[in-house]
Each structure stands twice: as structure tokens, then as C-alpha cells.
Amino acid sequence: MLRPGNILPAFVWCLFAFSQAMTSPFPPAPSTILLVLIGTVTVILFVVRRDASRVGNKFDTAIALSGTFVVSFLRGPTIQDTHLLPTLIQMIALVGWVASLLALGRSFGIVPADRGLVQHGPYRYVRHPIYAFELLFIVAYFIAVPTPRSAVVIGALIVLQISRIIREEHILQGYEEYKQRVRWRILPGVW
């Protein structure tokens, strides 16, 4: 559990979550509280995650890190309770995101790696529920902050996450059988 490959990313993610908590207005919006919860769960999952039996290459790593942190370029007004629809959508997305992280458990990672195929919880319905809920969260952000900058960053995020999904699917053992049972990647009926 106390390997540098687990502790170093946990420490970096802890700083990321702490920064997010410290830069949000007080009192924090409910979505900010849930984002900090996601950061906390992520730190714990980094520490307890399994060793990977197979990992992606450096290009996979670059895509994964870019897809994870590109949202850091989003700036603008924070979504407050005055934006009821985006706030409700974000709350639903964050609850689903946390549930997906907890279901992923010790198989969690940022970079594509085989730490065991998860097929329970939200993974029974879509193959990449974390990305699905992240996308829902970002769509709500765009509803509240429809700026050209938001459109560019969100467009880059979508391209990176689609690349990431496709590359991740080639790493996991037993994925072909799983694909037959769970048809949709992130949005049932669409993709």
C-alpha cells in the first residue's frame, strides 16, 4: 500500500483537492463540497489500489493526464444556487461520480492499466460511468457558463476522454466478453 506509485499521486491529488477547497467561496456551493468529496475518495483509492498487471504506454499516460487536468483551464463564475438547473444536474452527476469511484474501488487509476475489470454498480449499465458523470457535470457547467473558453476546453476534454476510453479498452483482460454484456460506453442508446 505504501508504494511511491500510489503515495505520490495520492499526495498530488490531495494538493489538488485542498486547492479546490481553499479557492472556493465561503460558504461553499454544494457542488464544491461534492467535488472535494470526490478528491478525497480519489486520494484514498490511490493509496489502496491494486498493482496493475498491464499498463499503457507513455502516449496513453499523456492522454490520460491531459484528459484529467484540462478542466483546470475552465474559468469564470462559479455555479451558485441561483443557477438551479445546472446545480441540480451537477449534484446528480457528482453523486453518480462518487458511486462510480466507490464501485471501481481498488481498480482505480488515472493512466490506463489493468487492475481488474469491474462489472458491478454503475458498471453494469455503462462501461465508463465515471466519464459519463464527469461529462454530465461539465455539460451543467457549460449551461451556466456558456463562454467560448468553456466551449474550447470542454471540446478538448471530450476529444481526450474519447481517446482515453478507446485506449483503456485495449488494456483490460476479459474486456471483449464484458463489451458483449454492457453495450454502451457512456451514454445508453448513443455511444
**pLDDT score, position 151:** 94
Q: What is the pLDDT along the chain (191 residues), one digit of tens a residue?
A: 556 566 666 677 677 767 766 776 677 777 777 777 888 888 788 878 888 889 889 999 899 888 888 888 886 545 454 578 888 998 899 999 999 999 999 998 888 899 999 999 999 999 999 999 999 999 998 998 899 999 999 999 999 999 999 999 989 888 999 999 999 999 988 88
Instruction: Label residues 2-33 b or e (16+ Cβ within 10 Å = b).
Output: eeeebeebbeebbebbeebeeebeeeebbbbe
**pLDDT score, position 19:** 73
Predicted TM-score (pTM) of the model is 0.84
**pLDDT score, position 124:** 95
The terminus-to-terminus CA distance of the chain in angstroms comes to 36
Q: From residue 93, how far is each of 124, 138, 162 by CA, in Å?
A: 17, 9, 18
